[in-house]
Amino acid sequence: MISDTFALAISSGLSLFLCLKAFIDYRAALRSINYLPGFRALISSFGMLGLFFKEPKRGLWGGRRRFWLRKHLDFEEAGVDIISHIAFLPSVSTYLLLADAAAIKEVTGHRARFPKPTYKTLRIFGGNVLASEGEEWKRHRKVVGPAFCEHNNRLVWNETVKIVNDLFANVWGSQSEVYVDNVVQSVTLPMALYVISIAGFGKRALWQADGNLPPGHKLSFQDALHILGTDLWIKAATPTLLMNWAPTTRIANVKLAFDEVKQYMLEMIQERRNAEKREERYDLFSSLLDANDLNEDGNGNVTLTNDELLGNIFIFMLAGHETTAHTLAFTFGLLALHPDYQETVYQQIKSIVPDNRPPMYEEMNSLTECMAVLYETLRLFPPTATIPKIAAEDTYLVTTDRAGNRVVVPVPCGTALHLNVIALHHNPRYWDNPSAFKPERFRGDWPRDAFIPFSTGSRSCIGRRFSETESIAILTMILSRYKIELRNDPRFADETYEERWQRVLRVKDGLTPA
């Protein structure tokens, strides 16, 4: 009895001590940022715990979906476009969230003061341009940069046109109407996969594959890429020992896909380096090999190792596959909800590309209505909710409150900052009626510093032009031939516009690096 009482007293005392320490740390955190307003939660919206609490619950956890649900509301309630998020578990942590275009430009323009964290979980095959910083990033960037050239953009356009034509001829055939239950799974995801396969790796894929596998392989190259692109989080979150043990079929499939993709890429490296005559090719993989060989130091040492080459090309595949597919799906959904804009796009396409001929790469910049619709989709549904940075030194940022008063925000060394892309894209300071779908806002002058779906500054997405080229080619081809409409369903006959928007354009969490 005495021992039980003693244990209870120890437990109560420890709990009291931890609560007192958390309160002291919380007050210190508030003082360090000069009591900047924001939202508080028991569990952070970021970090591993945040992955398990996606839906927000007031006072308990922020949740990853908070940013999609709240958009700019947290900033409006705080009265300022830089706010704080303080969480208590696993320990008291402070985050600054930014929806001020000038402050974001300050952060992205000073890499030394505000480096980005390195995504160690994305070193799936090896180091890469995304999961690196400082001198390592410069080394990767020197080799990777030249791969994204005008020759590659033209290749992307031409191959995308071929892939869509193959869809028309061998899948949809002569159908005047095509019903698609899941546009991502049936159309945009495989289409993006086929584009990255040929323009990224030089491997052409057809909608109607012959089913023959190369010797020594258990999966086709495209199937292996698709599995990794879909279930990358399993590879990133599962320890190597557990992956090798493979207790479930899904984990075993991911391990098999990982091994297959690595084998395919190593074979391509070997094949192209051993070729007696180097072909002039402009897919990203070939361009990377060429650029890496050109940076040889004279002693046979190239800038990037084989693992780093694999790491970079895999990141291109992931970013170019998943993000483009989902952006296009949202674009189709928005156009189905807004037939007037769809007609505007169609009329411009027909004025530039008459007689049902394939569009040419040289015509891309004239397809301004397609680009406006794509940009408005990226504004409303950016590939990532927030972009993380870290303060490398004690510094400060400046913003203004709703009354126009200058607000200086202290940023202690080590503070985690998040550029809140969704809030910035819904900030009424920069966008009129920000929740509305208005592609015309991208005609003429528009606030470029308040539009960061591809990030901004020196660490902005290196594949932006690749993605835009592919997306405009797909939109042009499909909209010139088909009208996008929602299927009539009596279950939703009485839906309001807002209810239909929420149903058609429902957002789900996924792994998309920025």
Q: Which helix (H) or strand (E) holds 19?
A: helix 2-32
pLDDT tier at 513 (50, 70, 90 boundaries)? Answer: very low
Give the angle subtended at the CA of 75 by the CAs of 74 and 79, to the nearest 5°: 120
Per-residue pLDDT of 62-96, as tens digits, reads 666 788 889 999 999 999 999 999 888 777 889 99
Whether pLDDT at 239 is above 90 = no
Does pTM surpass 0.75? yes
Per-residue pLDDT of 14-55, as tens digits, reads 778 777 877 888 888 889 999 999 988 888 777 655 555 555
Q: In percent, how much of the chain has pLDDT > 70? A: 87
DSSP summary character for residue 35: T
Q: In percent, how much of the chain has pLDDT > 90? A: 38
pLDDT tier at 225 (50, 70, 90 boundaries)? Answer: confident
pLDDT tier at 475 (50, 70, 90 boundaries)? Answer: very high
Residues annotated as binding site for heme? 461
Q: Answer yes or no: are the C-beta atoms of 216 and 270 closer than 8 Å.
A: no
Name every residue whose Cβ is closer than 8 Å to that of residue 19 and which is 6 or more positions away in sequence. Answer: none
Across the range 258-263, mean pLDDT stands at: 87
Rounded to 10 deg, the angle between the 249-274 and 221-237 helix axes is: 120
Residue 6 CB coordination number (10 Å):
10
Q: What is the DSSP annotation of 118-131?
A: P-GGG-SSS--SSS
**What does residue 7 show for φ and ψ, rounded to 5 degrees?**
-65, -40
Alpha helices in 238-356 (DSSP H): 240-245, 249-274, 284-294, 306-318, 324-337, 339-352
Give the per-residue pLDDT at 268: 82
pLDDT tier at 512 (50, 70, 90 boundaries)? Answer: very low
Strand partners, 89: 43
Average pLDDT, the chain: 85
- Coil, strand, or helix at residue 398? strand
Where is pLDDT greater, at 363 or 204? 363
pLDDT tier at 465 (50, 70, 90 boundaries)? Answer: very high
- Coil, strand, or helix at residue 154? helix
pLDDT tier at 514 (50, 70, 90 boundaries)? Answer: very low
pLDDT tier at 496 (50, 70, 90 boundaries)? Answer: confident
Whether pLDDT at 210 is above 90 = no
Both structure tokens of 70: 């709240």
Q: Answer yes or no: are the C-beta atoms of 327 and 471 closer than 8 Å.
A: yes
Residues annotated as binding site? 461
How far is 441 from 454, CA to CA, in rounded Å? 18
Per-residue pLDDT of 417-458, as tens digits, reads 999 999 999 999 999 999 999 999 999 899 999 999 999 888
